[in-house]
Amino acid sequence: MKPTIGITCSVDEDSARLNDAYYRALEGAGAVPVLIPAYSDSENILELVGLLDGVLFSGGVDLDPHSYGEEPIKGLGQITPNRDEIEIKLCQQFFKLKKPIFGICRGIQLINVALGGSLYQDIYSQRQNVLKHSQDAPSYHPTHKIHLIENTFIHSVFQKSEILVNSFHHQAIKNLAPVLKATAHSEDNVIEAVENTDMDSFVLGVQWHPERMFQKYREQARLFEAFVERCASRKRGI
């Protein structure tokens, strides 16, 4: 049986939205994607965790800095506190049960916050000499390099120490969650990928958008294939 993988959605006052590239990438890798709205009843999260084999935290707007103990700064953008609350609980439950977790862009930031880390609310005002991380190029086009650390999962996926990625963010990981390790950086030392320090479970976060790249750049599809395989293995009890 194919693994069933939940994907979180962006929300506004009257709708839930998701770029179809996320579920196309998971479908192409052999999964059955299920969209997850920001439930008004957080108890539904406990029910949902038992039904899914893995979760993908998608991109979106900024995280509320109160979720990691900070007051907002001028550079903070739009936030969706209800989405933050639901996704933090969802991530913590998946982590507790050692079910596979994958985060993209906002998703890597959400994972880090849910597991005890913090963020730069705006890298352009809080860091010096940063690259352009909010590109104006086509969304599929890679615009800057990142360096992958050897002997890590992500290095094993790409089989190289340097790749080019796209970039659509102004927030980034500041203090890394204790259970995570940074496994890729851009040249300005922004964290571009994280993994779980415990090899018994699967946690992966990337700061770029592979779902916008995988159709044109085949190597990006390997991230989804590796994640789906982990979910399938978990479903089979391996």
Residue of 55, 64, 59, 67 whose CA lies nearest to 31:
55
Q: What are the C-alpha distances in Å from 169 to residues 15, 38, 190, 195?
A: 23, 22, 11, 19
Residue of 204, 201, 213, 161 whose CA lies nearest to 181:
204
105 is catalytic: yes
Tell me the three state secondary structure of residue 15.
coil
Exactly one of 133, 169, 170, 209 is catalytic; which is it? Answer: 209
Exactly one of 133, 144, 211, 231 is catalytic; which is it? Answer: 211
Exactly one of 9, 105, 144, 169 is catalytic; which is it? Answer: 105
d(CA 65, CA 84): 10
209 is catalytic: yes
- 8 Å CB contact between 166 and 141: yes
Q: Burial, 54: exposed, middle or buried (Cβ in 10 Å; 0-12, 13-18, 19+)?
A: buried
The residues annotated as belonging to the active site are 105, 209, 211
